[in-house]
Amino acid sequence: MPRLFSFGGLAVCATAMSLLAGSAVAQDEPAQTLFTNIQVFDGVNEALIENANVLVTGNLIEAVSTDAIEAPGATVIDGGGGTLTPGFIETHAHLMLMGPSLPAMEANTTWEDFAIHGSRMAEMYLMQGFTTVRDAGGANGGLRRAIDSGQITGPRFYPSAAFIGTRGGHADFANFTAPPGSATNMSRLNLAQEISGVDDVYKFGRNNFRMGATQLKFMQSGGVVSAFDPWQLLAGSKEEIEAAVQVASEYGSYVMAHSYRKEAILNALDAGVMSIEHGFAFDCEIAEVMNEKGAYITTNLTAFDPGLLEIPAVASVPSSLAKAKSASATFAGYLDNMKECPVKRGFQTDCVGSVEACNIQVAYEKHLNNEFFGPYTSMVTLTSTGGEIVALSGDFTNPYTAGKLGVIEEGAYADILILDGNPLEDFSVVGTGDVWFGADPRPESPEGIQLIMKDGVIYKNTLN
């Protein structure tokens, strides 16, 4: 039967729909939060903005002013004279890798184990003040989807998917007798992939982006606490590293390279790598090349801890102890060279282990940054430099492009901390710990971090 319409009825329906649409628009007005009675560290400048006000609308910062801001419908939060800073950015983490060793993860770990550990690590990082984490290998796009959809609590997440590396290199997590090219637990889950030639780099690099990577991680040097690889290793041919850079460029992104030796670092930079990981052999010649190319470095400063040779994973394994001793001697100039010829350096913890152990290591890494480089440089490392590094993933691979990260300015993402004091005068308010191994368990969130906001949503507020 044909449907009959009344023009009068249509008019009534149109009016009703108009009223409903207007109501929906009113309900969809983004929420506002107004922070008052604060001083602001903007992530860039050493001078704080005194007696400031910051207005957040939705998930972006709308205004930063020393004048009063009129926002009648806003939720007002009195900062109590504390310091408002950008949320911290961790540029080299491994949220999926729980340890206690590579053989254990290879032989006795399921995808459920990795997923549960990753979700707990994500929440730990957020509650330690990190609103953004770049994962340096071992995590695909699923964790980010779960965080961004609100299924689990965590920071903005930039995964690298599988480590890419050569047989016997630092991405080779296979059992000792596994034949070359055989499937492993880590390869099946796309946590690590073994390459042998340019074609493998193309295959696994493109697959990584398919699996949600925002950048690629190439394992160029060896390691200390690892089975097969001397730290001096120069793994990957020029063509293989260039192939990784080519694949990343296809996606508008970049490559981060695990590089220890000077030759490795220079080879990576020459191939177009934009982020040097660890970079322990850093010197002023490398600094000149990095500054020329606009490249970045991230270094886990725990590598320079005086007690490094005494930790069980090193001291109990003769080969690891020997590697650690030779590495420590070779890398002794890093701190002086970084001070003499500074480059843009991101915060790196590089923890593999339990959530509780990584919580302690994160706090200790914060402490060492201040100990070696002072509070201002450390705060820039934790904020704006990290924001620049994650932005290297480009316009269409980067999942977070509506605002800048790592800064407090109009139009930036509302990723915000309020600290109980001035971190440039008392760095401990960021949640430092001056003991690594043997430290007592740390609280879920540092007392000095009074408020944590990510994407305009408050996850912690002890100000009231």
pLDDT (tens digit per residue) in 428-455: 999 999 999 889 999 999 999 999 999 9
**Domain residue limits at 307:** 88-404
CA dihedral 454→458→460→464, nearest 10 degrees, is: 140
Q: Name residue 33's beta-bridge partners.
A: 56, 75
Domain presence at residue 336:
yes
Domain presence at residue 47:
no
Q: What is the pLDDT of residue 241?
A: 97
Residue 100 half-sphere exposure toward CB, CA atoms < 13 A: 4
Bigger pLDDT: 64 vs 310? 64
3-state secondary structure of 413: strand
Contact 315, 293 (CB under 8 A): no
Q: What is the pLDDT confidence band of residue 21, given thresholds at 50, 70 and 90? A: very low
Q: Name residue 275's beta-bridge partners.
A: 256, 296
Q: What is the mean pLDDT of residues 36-41?
A: 98
- Highest mean pLDDT: which of 85-89, 109-113, 228-232? 85-89
With b for 16 or more beta-carbon neighbours within 10 A and e for fewer, the 99-121 pattern comes to beebeebbeebeeeebbebbbbb
Element (H, E) at 61: strand 60-65
Q: What is the mean pLDDT of residues 8-31?
A: 53
Q: What is the pLDDT confidence band of residue 3, given thresholds at 50, 70 and 90? A: very low
Q: What is the pLDDT of residue 390?
A: 98
Contact 158, 132 (CB under 8 A): yes
CA dihedral 310→333→279→184, nearest 10 degrees, is: -30
Q: What is the mean pLDDT of residues 281-291?
A: 97
Q: What is the pLDDT of residue 12?
A: 41
- The pair of structure tokens assigned to 40 is 């602001």
Bigger pLDDT: 409 vs 172? 409
> Which residues, other chains included, contact 167 with Cβ-Cβ below 8 Å and sequence gap of 6+?
180, 194, 196
Instruction: Read off the amino acid at residue 258.
Output: H
Question: Measured in whole angstroms, how far is the alpha carbon of residue 138 from the centre of its chain?
Answer: 13
Cα(296)–Cα(388) distance, integer angstroms: 9
Inter-axis angle of helices 262-271 and 284-293, nearest 10: 10
Domain presence at residue 24:
no
% residues pLDDT > 70 (the chain): 92
pLDDT in tens, 222-252: 777 677 777 788 888 999 999 999 999 999 9
Report strand pairing: 345-347 vs 255-259: unpaired
Domain presence at residue 283:
yes
Q: What is the mean pLDDT of residues 316-328?
A: 74
Contact 265, 406 (CB under 8 A): no
Q: What is the mean pLDDT of residues 269-278?
A: 98
> Residue 140 belongs to a domain with what CATH number?
3.20.20.140
Asked whether residue 330 carries a pLDDT value surpassing 60, the answer given is yes
Alpha helices, H only, 180-237 = 185-188, 198-210
Q: What is the pLDDT of residue 312?
A: 64
Report strand pairing: 416-419 vs 345-347: unpaired
Asked whether residue 14 carries a pLDDT value surpassing 70, the answer given is no
> Which residues, other chains included, contact 4 with Cβ-Cβ below 8 Å and sequence gap of 6+?
none
pLDDT in tens, 394-405: 999 999 999 999
Q: What is the mean pLDDT of residues 356-374?
A: 97
Please give the backbone phi and psi of residue 161, each rounded to the nearest 5 degrees, phi first. 60, -140
Asked whether residue 25 carries a pLDDT value surpassing 60, the answer given is no
Asked whether residue 153 carries a pLDDT value surpassing 90, the answer given is yes
Please give the backbone phi and psi of residue 203, each rounded to the nearest 5 degrees, phi first. -65, -50
Tell me, yes or no, if the pTM score tops 0.95. Answer: no
Domain presence at residue 449:
no
Cα(338)–Cα(287) distance, integer angstroms: 8
Q: What's the structural domain count of the chain?
A: 1
Cα(274)–Cα(256) distance, integer angstroms: 6
Contact 280, 303 (CB under 8 A): yes
Strand runs labelled E in 331-397:
345-347
Report strand pairing: 296-299 vs 275-278: parallel
Domain presence at residue 215:
yes
> Which of 53, 41, 43, 159 lies closest to 96, judged by CA?
159
Cα(173)–Cα(192) distance, integer angstroms: 8
Asked whether residue 354 carries a pLDDT value surpassing 60, the answer given is yes
Asked whether residue 23 carries a pLDDT value surpassing 70, the answer given is no
Q: What is the pLDDT confidence band of residue 8, given thresholds at 50, 70 and 90? A: very low
Q: What is the mean pLDDT of residues 29-52?
A: 97
Q: What is the mean pLDDT of residues 142-165?
A: 97
> Which residues, other chains included, contact 119 with Cβ-Cβ below 8 Å and sequence gap of 6+?
143, 146, 152, 154
Q: What is the pLDDT confidence band of residue 315, given thresholds at 50, 70 and 90? A: low
Domain presence at residue 144:
yes
Contact 29, 57 (CB under 8 A): no
Asked whether residue 20 carries a pLDDT value surpassing 80, the answer given is no
3-state secondary structure of 91: strand
Q: What is the mean pLDDT of residues 353-365?
A: 96
The length of the chain in residues reads 464
Cα(403)–Cα(31) distance, integer angstroms: 17
Q: What is the pLDDT of residue 27?
A: 58
% residues pLDDT > 90 (the chain): 76
Cα(232)–Cα(63) distance, integer angstroms: 50
Average pLDDT of the chain? 91
Q: What is the pLDDT of residue 411?
A: 98
Q: What is the pLDDT of residue 104?
A: 87
Asked whether residue 70 carries a pLDDT value surpassing 80, the answer given is yes
Asked whether residue 6 carries a pLDDT value surpassing 90, the answer given is no
Element (H, E) at 359: helix 355-373
